[in-house]
Amino acid sequence: MLRAKLEPVGLADLVELDSAGTHGYHIGRAPDARSQRHALARGYDLCAQRARQVMAQDFARFDLLLAMDRDNLAALRAICPPGREDKLRLLMSFASRHAADEVPDPYYGEGDGFERVLDYVEDACDGVIAMLRAQGLGGAT
């Protein structure tokens, strides 16, 4: 979703991003079909995405590692090299339109859970873009 939101604001070529999980349950697999269906209805095509697990080099490669919830944040902290903890944040810390501090896992729920996740993630992604622009990325201030 962030990748799609970076494109129209001219930041897609300036930001390297990736998606990874803290557990290896679904390595190599595409996102849940329900996630794909709900995302596609909003214009986000997830069909090329494949699951991978966070690796040690991610802490050096990326400036920011965002977790969906506190459990995943704790898992990231557990494997984070010393001195890199400042790179770890909850995704929802960037949200401005929703008061939730975590993105709920809709896996065992129905469609409205997937819609809520999309609402939350869209909000947080807008906040990430605002932060990037405030830092001067892409010439915006």
Give yes or no: 32 in active site. no
Q: CA-CA distances (angstroms) from residue 69 to 28, 75, 89, 133?
A: 22, 10, 9, 25
Locate tokens 């939350």: which residue? Answer: 120
Active-site annotation holder among 45, 101, 105, 112: 105
Q: How far apart are alpha carbons 135 and 45 in whole angstroms?
A: 28
Residue 94: Cβ within 10 Å count: 18
Q: Among all residues, which ones are annotated catalytic?
A: 105
